[in-house]
Every structure is written in structure tokens, then in C-alpha cells.
A = this chain, B = another copy of it.
């Protein structure tokens, strides 16, 4: 007997037939004697439909009212799933974020969870109910409806698991776990049985968009066991996200290869090498609400240095304009260069902390294939390189093979 919080996303509850499938899966766990709290998203497409309606009446929809509106998507899902469970003769009860209650701050459309009132859920579980909770939504101190932002249902699931001290938070999705890399690029990509929290963070932020980043951080903070599983397969253990390295049974040096072709690179040449120059360059970029990913500044010489960074490809032209018009004349840089036909490829693994030579191996493998490295950035558990976009798939494939990722450790 265990206590699981199970979260089902929009695709898993995308139709009444799929909701019945979710009910059957929950029923199976319930029949095994487990206690189950289910968190559901809105039916796929519903949130976008509601947002479109809002834009028909208000050019910039008011955030408070938008939350009132889009929170109805999950409210429909919870009632449907509770009914589907009852149709299988299982006692079930649904709760909105306001009812549970999931207390958040008042930052409409991207609120943060402050507290969860667990008494009501505990009483229902003790009475044999399956409890169905609306994901993505909460309520602030004043009773206003709030939402947690895109993917917020994952966060609801993790927060409930933390508050209720569940044995595991199971995130059901349309993939059956976390892979060493995208199977569409490398056919030999392999599902990981476990991945560490830190690796998961790096994989998620690098574009393996299985879990919402904030929910993973939340799970790490509260030490919630998090498992990613497929809602379309009946068997399979998914991937367990662990928080202590010695739990990592696989002991692989490298866990996966992440990649991303959504970025563009910009280099400011001949920048005076004095304190505050990074802020002078990136301050106006941040003021324009442009997120910067990699930042590289090499050692300077002759009082000058070069400064490079990457931004989302959609922001490339905008960023180039800001640099050329506002920054270059202001700081007296020699030139501003850029390119948006690049890709970022990263090897990720906690093992590299204790294994030397990972970086040199990576660079050698790429060199053997004639792939030029344009930028390099490293963290404790990740090495990222920027290469020409056309080499991205090749780079991922040769690195996946070189680090033996197709074989279980």
C-alpha cells in the first residue's frame, strides 16, 4: 500500500474516452489498495480556446479575469474524471484550487504556491475516496482565482505530493520517460530508469520538455520522488528523478545529450575590458525583456575583449538592433556580429564531476567529424557547444555513440 499523487496532462484527458482510460488506470491502482490523489490539466486545446475568446473582447486581457476564465478548463476536467471514476463504482470527489485550498501569491497568470490546506484531502482519503484536484490553479489571500502559468499542473502535483508527504508523484504524459536524447534524432536513444534532479534540470532547460522546470525545482526543494510515465502504456516504470547521487544506480558518467536549435549568437567585438562592461551590454537587453542563455567573455588583451551571448532565435533581429543602435556607440565597441543558423549541443551528467576528460573527449569526437565549435560553455554537470545548425543531428549522434548511451550502464 502506497500513497501516490498522479498527474495527467491535457493530452491524457483530451477527450471523454481518454478520461475514461485515466479512470480505469486510477481504478487499477485503487484496487491494489493504494491511496490516490489525481491532478488533471484542462482537456487539450481548451486553454487555448478560452484565451482566444478573451482576446476577442479585450486586446490585452486583464490577468485577474483571464485567470477566472482559463481556470474553468481544469474545473471541467476534474468533474468529468470524478464522474468517470464513480461510473466504475469508485468513490471520488473533485476539488478546484480554491476549494482545496491551494493558496498562492497574487501574481495572476504565473502565481506561486504558498500553502496547501491538506485536511480536507486527508479526510477524504481516509474515507476511501479518490481525490481529484484541478491542476494549474489556486486562490490568493483575498479569494481571487489565480493560475500558475503554462505547465503549472506539474507544479500542483509536486506541491500536493510534498504537502501530503506522498510516496511518489507520478507525472503521466505522452512519453514513457526521459531518454538519453531525442529518439527522433538518434534511433538508439534509451529510456533512463533514473536521472538525478540536477541532470533533469539541465535536460529540461535544454529543450527536453517533458516536465515543467519549476515543478522539478519544487520536487528538489521538498525531496519529492518524481516519476515520469506514459499515460498510453499500461506497463513500464518510466523514469524516476532522484535527489541523491548515491541513489543513482546506473552510475553513468553521462546521462544524455540535449540539443536546441532555437538560439542565435551575438558577438560584440573590441569591447573596452573594464568593470561593468557586461552590465552595460546586457542591461539594455534585459530591459527589453529578452532572455539571454549562454554568456561568454574570454580573457582580454590590449585593453580590449570580445563578448558573446545567445538569445532565442525570435529575438535575434531585435537584439541586434538594440546592440547596434544603443550599445555599440555608447561603449565604443569595434563591431557587432551575429548569426541565427546555430545550434547548441550539450552533454549532461553528474558523473563528469568525478571523471576527468569528458570535455576533451567531446571536442575530439566533434573534431573527428569536422564539426567546428563556435562557442563553449560549461557548468559542473554540463558541457555545451554552439555549432553550425546543419551539423546538429550529426553531433548528437556521434556524441550519443561515443559516450555509450545506447547501452544500459
Interface residues of chain A: helix, strand, loop or mixed (majority): helix
Cβ-closest chain B residue relative to A69: B79
A96 to B99, CA, bound (A): 13
Q: A16-B53, A59-B87, A83-B57 in contact; A94/B68 too (CB < 8 A)?
A: yes
A53 to B42, CA, bound (A): 14
- Interface membership of A80, Cβ < 8 A: yes
Q: Assess whether B84 is in contact with A78, with CB atoms less than 8 Å apart.
A: no
- Interface membership of A292, Cβ < 8 A: no
A98 to B364, CA, bound (A): 64
In the complex, how many angstroms separate the beta carbon of A277 from the nearest chain B beta carbon? 44
Total contacting residues, chain A, CB less than 8 A: 38
Q: Assess whether A72 is in contact with B76, with CB atoms less than 8 Å apart.
A: yes
Q: A16-B57, A19-B57, A76-B72 in contact; A83/B98 too (CB < 8 A)?
A: no
Cβ-closest chain B residue relative to A43: B53
Number of this chain's copies in the complex: 2
Residues of B within 8 A of A234 (CB): none
In the complex, how many angstroms separate the beta carbon of A278 from the nearest chain B beta carbon? 41
Q: Assess whether B79 is in contact with A66, with CB atoms less than 8 Å apart.
A: yes
A65 to B81, CA, bound (A): 9
Residues of A within 8 A of B (CB): 16, 19-20, 23, 50, 53-54, 56-59, 61-62, 64-66, 68-69, 71-72, 75-76, 78-80, 82-84, 86-87, 93-94, 96, 98-99, 143-145
Instruction: Supply 20 A–B pairs (Cβ within 8 Å), ascending by A.
Output: A16-B57, A54-B80, A57-B84, A58-B83, A58-B84, A62-B82, A62-B86, A64-B93, A65-B79, A65-B80, A65-B82, A65-B86, A66-B83, A68-B75, A68-B94, A69-B75, A72-B72, A75-B75, A99-B143, A99-B144
